[in-house]
Amino acid sequence: MDSEATTPLQEVRANIARACTPSRREPDDVTLIAVSKTHPAEAIVPLLEEGQRVFGENRVQEAQGKWPALLERYPDVELHLIGQLQSNKAEDAVALFDCIHALDRPSLVKALAKAMEKLGKRVPCFIQVNVGSEEQKGGCAVEALPELLTQAREAGIPIAGLMCIPPFDIEPAPFFALLAKLAADNELSGLSMGMSGDYQTAAMLGATHVRVGTALFGERDSQH
């Protein structure tokens, strides 16, 4: 497959398969989320035509603007919210998305639980953990994870697993290993970790979901 990888999607999938080999994982154990944030519908269609069916967006409002029409044409698409979520957007997020990756605080637990109850829709959520203890980043502190997990479960929110964004420009492997340990300690199987620069490392270390944008779409015109 390596020599035949002619599109970015084929190349990323081949890299994931290669990364899974040392840890004897199956490539199908890793869900590739194509991060389509800031990209217009016309840039997304080629990946849809190529068979990609899981996509990630950072902002509720942006997703509302471009995905309803695409979902009419491709109803089997799975849409993941991977960016920070404001509590006042919880209902819109529950209505549109199939999975939420950034549950990180008690107020959002309450907002999401209320929205899911109102809409009669239970959306699986990853709890984001601030594995690098970075003040500017979202995610709950490592020591706050057990309590937040308890609150989410008691509120009836389905927990898909844990998510992290390692510190920039530092070897990510220790942070991925920490997230995997936290998930195991809390009897969770889902691990949303790894982006364009480090998804192969993440796949090798147990990621069940990798969030890849630039490697599939190229550089964005504007950083959001």
pLDDT tens-digit series, residues 132-153 = 988 878 899 999 999 999 999 9
Domain assignment of residue 223, yes or no: no
Q: Residue 221 — pLDDT band, cuts 50, 70, 90?
A: low
Amino acid at 186: N
Domain assignment of residue 202, yes or no: yes
- Quote the mean pLDDT of the chain: 94
Domain assignment of residue 224, yes or no: no
Instruction: Annotate 150-159 with b (16+ C-beta within 10 A) or e (fewer).
Output: ebbeeeebeb
- Total domains in the fold of the chain: 1
Question: What is the pLDDT at residue 220?
Answer: 64
Domain assignment of residue 222, yes or no: no
Decide if 171 contacts 201 (C-beta within 8 A): no
d(CA 147, CA 40): 39
d(CA 190, CA 159): 9
Tell me: pLDDT of 2 over 80. no
We report the CATH number of the domain holding residue 70 as 3.20.20.10
Question: What is the pLDDT at residue 138?
Answer: 85
Q: What is the mean pLDDT of residues 58-87?
A: 96
Domain assignment of residue 185, yes or no: yes
What's the distance, Cα to Cα, between the start and end of the chain in Å?
A: 34
Domain that holds residue 74: 2-217
Residue 191, φ and ψ in degrees, nearest 5: -135, 105
Domain assignment of residue 206, yes or no: yes
Domain assignment of residue 106, yes or no: yes
pTM greater than 0.85? yes
Domain assignment of residue 139, yes or no: yes
Decide if 138 contacts 107 (C-beta within 8 A): no
Residues 6+ positions from 73 with CB-CB distance below 8 Å: 48
Torsion sign across C-alpha atoms 106, 112, 118, 122:
negative
> Quick one: which of 5, 30, 34 has its CA closest to 196?
34
